[in-house]
Structures are given as structure tokens and as C-alpha cells.
Amino acid sequence: MPGDWTPHRRDDGELVGWIRPAGEEWAAIDVLGREVVTSVDWLDAETALEERGLAFLADPWMLERDGQAPLRVRLLEVTPARIVVKAEDYGDVSRGSERITLPWPLPARLRPPRPSDADPFVRGARPGS
């Protein structure tokens, strides 16, 4: 993490991202390392991070895999050192899931689900159906 990035925390102390210089202005970076806004004043960068929040961390994600269908995963850990995911277990705590460690910032092969992805709650669902 570059030394000129300033952590931005919610009122409860939870880290929601960083603000970094962007020329004469500022850019906001979320906890996954994605740029939220750039070339704004400091207060607008803070507002953008607070509006983005952290709720997206609880959403399902898709992990693209070489030669295989995308794997539906959940985020377990997000730090500037790594992102750890596990295969979706649909709340079945008795089911063990492999943990997969990915680099930070968010790699392109980890993405939100698309409408063409199979819906795991529909028996026999196929992508695009």
C-alpha cells in the first residue's frame, strides 16, 4: 500500500477504504482496491467511500477458473495483503469448503455474478436459461 494513501473509517471505526492523491485532487479507493471516484475534493472522496460502504462484501461473487465453469464464492477475508474466498456453501456449516487466496487488489477473475451465470437455487439451471 503506498505511503500516501490515507485510511478512511466510518464513525464506528470500520475501514471503508483509502483516499489517495490524484494530481491536485483526490481519489477514493474501496477495500477491494477499486477506484470509486477520482479527481474530486477530499470531502467528496469521503462521501463516495461512505456511500459505497461495505455491504458488497456480503454479496456472492464468481471466480473465473481456467477450463471450468465459474465458481460461486463468498468473501472471507479482505486485506491489502490478500483476498480469501471459499466456495458458496449456502449456509450448510457441515460442508467444508476449500479456501482460495487471491492477490489484492481485486483480480479480474473475481467478479459479481452476471445474469448469464447459472442460478444455484434453481434445480438444473443452466447459464443463460
15-64 pLDDT, tens per residue?
999 999 999 999 999 999 999 999 999 999 999 999 999 999 999 999 99
| Co-location of 30 and 44 in the same domain | yes
* Residue 11 sits in the same domain as residue 37: yes
Same domain, 63 and 106: yes
Q: What is the DSSP letter of 33?
A: S
Instruction: Give the count of domains, the chain.
Output: 2
Whether 124 is in a domain gets the answer no
* pTM, full prediction: 0.84
Residue 72: its pLDDT value, please?
92
Residue 118 lies in a domain: no
- 24 and 64 inside one domain: no
Strands 110-111 and 35-40: unpaired
Give one word for 12, left, alpha or beta, with left for phi > 0 and alpha for psi -120 to 50. alpha
The answer to the question of residue 129 being in a domain is: no
**125 in any annotated domain:** no
Q: Which domain holds residue 14?
A: 6-54
Same domain, 66 and 100: yes
pLDDT at 17: 98
